[in-house]
Structures are given as structure tokens and as C-alpha cells.
Amino acid sequence: MPFRSLFVAIVLGFGIVVSAFLINRQRPKVETEQPSAGHRKVRRVPLQPDLASAVTDKWPDYARAQVAMKQVCTQCHTTPLVNEVYARAEKVVEDTNAKVKEAQAIMDGLRKDGVLTGPPFSHPIDFVYFDLWRYDGRTAKHGAFMGDADFVQWHGNYPMPSKLVELRAAGDELRGQHGRGN
Ligand code: HEC
């Protein structure tokens, strides 16, 4: 009977469409706010302090940005864990700033006294200083905000003092050569 089969086919098809609609309604809604041409009003908030700089300063939106970032973390972690990670990371930033400033002072002193001359990166000591803030310092700071002790310690806190010793020794040697009129 062609009419009966057609009727069954229509009922089945309608049933499938309605079920698909009902199942789709149950899906959790995900809101995304990507800055794009269609969302020009979305304001981009930097989520971390400026960890890329040699010495990290807090910017004006810092507190608000940190609250926003913590909201991301607390989707998976408990608030105490996230607060602990951030509190420790802030200390790592302070500590790294102090080490970098110490290194800066050594380099500035050498240049000021005319011991270190010439264009940037013309002496081995320039590279030691650069690596100290650009690689070790940044690694410690970024590692801290991800709660990664290995990066903070072995790729940041350990090489920084080691390079400070190297800087002082190289600086003393340069001063010695300078004194001898070289
Ligand atoms: C999508 C879920 C998710 C989000 C969002 C998330 N994490 Fe995690 N995090 C995990 C998982 C899963 C692990 C465990 C990974 C493992 O052990 O291999 C983890 C591990 C960690 C650990 C190591 C914990 C430990 O006991 O060793 C820290 C610290 C951490 N996350 C911090 C953060 C911070 C800070 C943020 C926000 C910037 C964040 N997480 C965002 C899922 C998440």
C-alpha cells in the first residue's frame, strides 16, 4: 500500500526532526567572546602583569585582569589553589625583579665608568646579562603563573644567581683590564 508506507515515512521523519531539536536544546550553551570584526565592542584585558619585560610592573587594570584570569582557573580548580598559585607567583615576580635590577646595576655601572664600551652585544658579558633577564627571568615568571615549580626553580631561580656571579666576575676582569690601560 503506497499511501500507508508514505504515511509511516512522514511520521518517522517528523519524529527524527523533533527529537534532534529536543536533544540539541539540552546541549550546554557556550558563550565565546573573541575579539573579531563582528565584536568590536569587546575590550581586550591583558590577563597577566607584563611578564615579558625585564622588570615587571603592575599596570592600571591589573587587579581586574587578575580577577578575570582567576575565573578561568576556577572552572577546573578550587579557589584556594588558584589564590595560592597567584600569591606565590607575585612573590616570584618581586624576587625576579630584584635579581634583574641587580644585574642591570652591574651593567649600568660598567658602562657609566667607561669599562664596557662599544655597540650592544659586542662583548660576552652582554649575552650573559641578556640571557639572565630574557630567558631565565621570563621563564621563572611565566612558570610561576602556571604553578610550575621546575621552571621557576631550575630554569629561572638557579641560573639567575649563577649568571649574577658570572657578571660580577666578568665585570671585575673588565675593570682590571681597564685599569691596566687596555
Ligand atoms: C580546563 C580545565 C583547567 C583549567 C581552566 C585550568 N587548569 Fe590547571 N590543571 C588542570 C588539570 C586537569 C591539571 C592536572 C594536570 C596533570 O596532573 O597532568 C591541572 C594542573 C594544575 C596545577 C598543578 C597542580 C598540582 O597539584 O600539581 C596548577 C598549579 C594549575 N593547574 C594551575 C592552574 C591555573 C593557575 C589556571 C588558570 C590560569 C589553571 N590551572 C586552569 C585543569 C585546568
- Assign domain 38-179 to its CATH superfamily: Hydroxylamine Oxidoreductase; Chain A, domain 2 (1.20.850.10)
Domain boundaries along the sequence of the chain: 38-179
Q: Check residue 48 and give its pLDDT.
A: 64
For residue 148, give the ligand 1 atom closest to its CA. Answer: 29
Contact indicator for 78, 139 with CB cutoff of 8 Å = no
> For 111-119, what is the mean pLDDT?
95
78 Cα distance to chain centroid? 21
Q: Answer yes or no: is the C-beta of 77 below 6 A from any ligand 1 atom.
A: yes
Distance 53 CA to ligand 1 centre (A): 25
Q: Check residue 33 and give its pLDDT.
A: 44
pTM score over 0.85? no
Contact indicator for 115, 171 with CB cutoff of 8 Å = yes
Model confidence at 30: pLDDT above 60? no
Give per-residue pLDDT as tens, 137-153: 999 999 999 889 999 99
60 pLDDT band, cuts 50/70/90, is confident
